[in-house]
Amino acid sequence: MHAGKYLPGLMVAFAALPAHAQQATPTPAPTRIPPPTVTTIPGVIPERFSIGTPTPVATPVATPTPTPTPAATPAPRPAPVATQAGAAPQAAAPQPTPTPSPLASPSVSPSPVPVPPSAPVQPPIVATPAPLPAPPAPAQPWLWALLGAGATAAAGLALWWFLRRRRPDEEEPVPAAEASAAPPLQPRGPSPVLARPVPALAPAEPFQIGLQPVRIHIGEREVLIDLELTIANGTGSAADAVRMSFAAISASANQDAEIAGFHASAQLAPSADPFDLAAGGGGRMPVQLSMPREAMHIVEVGGRPMFVPVVAIDLRWRGGLSIRRFSADFMLGGAGQGGKLAPIWLDRGQPRGPFAATRYLPAAPAA
């Protein structure tokens, strides 16, 4: 009885809950619906009557934290509301007899649909501001002082270098020490001129002798040489008892020794007669000389035989109370060009002129 009295009120109360829920302001956060709770009313058989009413349970709403970059937040899905299969049963009018109230159709409670877990909320990214560069420290006073000192030193060095380069040209004159009074200069006579030594002139030869070959004949046993001799007295005084000696030798490596030996032991020919020459006087005479063929020194030049005869002349005279001597030597040959002699060739038969003679000066004997 009492159960039938309270049943309509309970149904109205439970029906008002969804309407109240619809009027409530929807929250953006998803709502998790627990399974329906079965409420049993006393005096009602549980097998025949049960009211399943979903009781909304408030779920803590995650408050989104603003981040520098927008994060995608899943939109809350509306929680599925369990709908009853049929309309609510009308309450039976109370009867004087205990008549069971019409049973409400059992409502099928849908299984709760699992809500996908929301994406994990990322911790907010806090932008750390980059440190600003420190403002430049004000220049220290000692730095300016150091720069000023360096500039002053550089200027001083440049000035010193400039003055150093100009110093050799702008040296201040040093006052010279007072010179002591010098004695008056006495006039000097003309300085003596040193006379240059005059080279000693060779003493003039006392006689001038010339020799001209006329004929050279080569025989089987001897060589005959015909000459013409000229002589002049250059002593400045008369030359008495002049005697002359001649010798014909062949030029060789020992010719100087042979000439010196002849002049050391010259003997007068028995046929040479002495003669006198007045001062500045002279004359001409023919001379014939012979030389053994064996004494000839034959030299081959280019495969041709040749020889060069040498005539040695020794002259002695009396000057005052003494006997004086003079000698002259000549080389004979064919007349060549430029005053040179040509050798006498022996492969052409008898030599033919013209012939010539040149003065020969033997080397002085070693002391």
Domain borders along the chain are 1-104, 207-359
- Which tokens go with 33? 């619906």
> How do residues 133-146 score in pLDDT, each as one tens digit?
555 555 456 677 77
pLDDT confidence of residue 31: 54
pLDDT of residue 247 exceeding 70, the answer is yes
User: In the chain, what percentage of residues exceed pLDDT 70?
Assistant: 48
Rounded Cα gap, residues 327 and 79, in angstroms: 171
Q: Give 251's pLDDT tier (boundaries 50, 70, 90).
A: very high
| Mean pLDDT along residues 96-125 | 46
pLDDT confidence of residue 190: 55
Strand partners, 225: 216, 289
Rounded Cα gap, residues 230 and 207, in angstroms: 10
Strand partners, 223: 218, 291
Rounded Cα gap, residues 71 and 68, in angstroms: 9
Strand partners, 282: 232
pLDDT confidence of residue 321: 84
Rounded Cα gap, residues 38 and 64, in angstroms: 36
| Mean pLDDT along residues 10-38 | 49
pLDDT of residue 348 exceeding 50, the answer is yes
Greater confidence, 269 or 114?
269
> How do residues 310-347 score in pLDDT, each as one tens digit?
999 999 998 888 889 999 999 999 887 777 888 888 88
Q: Which of 287, 123, 277, 269 is nearest to 214 (CA)?
A: 287
Rounded Cα gap, residues 357 and 215, in angstroms: 12
Q: Which of 135, 18, 120, 139 is nearest to 71 (CA)?
A: 120
Burial class (CB in 10 A: 0-12, 13-18, 19+), 236: exposed
Q: Longest Cα pair distance anywhere in the chain, in angstroms?
A: 232
Greater confidence, 143 or 309?
309
Most confident of 30-44, 72-86, 104-118: 30-44
pLDDT of residue 173 exceeding 90, the answer is no
Q: Which of 128, 125, 129 is nearest to 69 (CA)?
A: 125
Q: Give 161's pLDDT tier (boundaries 50, 70, 90).
A: confident
CATH architecture of 207-359: Sandwich (2.60)
